[in-house]
Amino acid sequence: MIKKAIKLLLIEDNHTIATQITSFLENHGWQVDFAATGRQGIDLALSEYFDVVILDLNLPDIDGLEVCEQIKANSNHNPPILMLTARDAFEDKARGFGRGADDYLTKPFDFRELALRCEAMARRPKLHENTIVAQGQLHLNIRAFEAKWGKQPIKLTKVGFTILHKLLKEYPYPVSRSELSMHIWGDEPPQSNALKSHIYALRKSLESSVDKPILHTISNIGYQLKDLDV
């Protein structure tokens, strides 16, 4: 049924339940690390890479919602979080999603469903996109829509941030105008030459915070970031 090896972090204070879940998932060839407290779970989640974090909301030291929020706010690779909860009211689930959870299971649950949900979450590439994308002095925080050159903030529009993110991901190679347009607007780009205007605004924003030109126009191709290192 399950082919891809997955690395999971289980944050669960009930040792009986934790042992049952770990045994079941390891039978699929998956690697399961275990934390019995919220603080231990946060430390592991922030220090290692996990495809999925399975999080019990009822923990002895920190509320699971706080654990979820801290992992989402501070992890560089944004692991998807599946919360396990006995709180089956809609308001409880809504609070979980509001604090960053990606999915939930209400106790008691079928271990087979847990495995299927973990496998599905591990396949979602969007959930694994790094929170921080950086090259040289340029740093982007994808979740917070923040950009910095060293310690200097760069004030950007949403489209400007999207353009800069795309160029940084492709660095040091140029990105064509058509590819940038498709990335921003999909199959329905504006009729006007909007991309040129956004590039102009982005260049002005960079000039106000960066001490050298880093956004370059490549004739007959598109745009490219250069000289991002000191």
Cα–Cα distance measured from residue 220 to residue 230, given in angstroms and rounded to the nearest whole number: 29
185's enclosing H/E stretch is helix 177-185
Per-residue pLDDT tens over the stretch 154-175: 999 988 999 999 999 899 999 9
Q: Are 56 and 96 in contact (CB under 8 A)?
A: no
Average pLDDT of the residues in 207-222 = 94
* Total-model pTM: 0.59
Domain at 132-225, CATH class = mainly alpha
Alpha-carbon Rg for the chain, nearest whole angstrom, is 21
Beta-bridge partner residues of 83: 55, 104
Give yes or no for residue 127 having a pLDDT over 60.
Answer: no
pLDDT of residue 62: 92
Cα–Cα distance measured from residue 38 to residue 77, given in angstroms and rounded to the nearest whole number: 19
Max intra-chain CA distance, the chain = 64
Per-residue pLDDT tens over the stretch 95-110: 888 888 888 898 889 9
- 7-128 and 132-225: same fold? no
Lowest mean pLDDT among 16-25, 83-92, 200-209: 83-92
Which burial class, exposed, middle or buried, applies to 86 when counting CB atoms under 10 A from its CB (0-12, 13-18, 19+)?
A: exposed
Q: Provide the residue ranges of all domains of the chain, joining segments of one domain with +.
A: 7-128, 132-225
Q: Are 6 and 52 in contact (CB under 8 A)?
A: yes
Residue 128 — pLDDT band, cuts 50, 70, 90?
low
Cα–Cα distance measured from residue 185 to residue 166, given in angstroms and rounded to the nearest whole number: 13
**7-128 to CATH, choices 3.40.50.1010, 3.30.1490.20, 3.40.50.2300, 2.40.160.60:** 3.40.50.2300
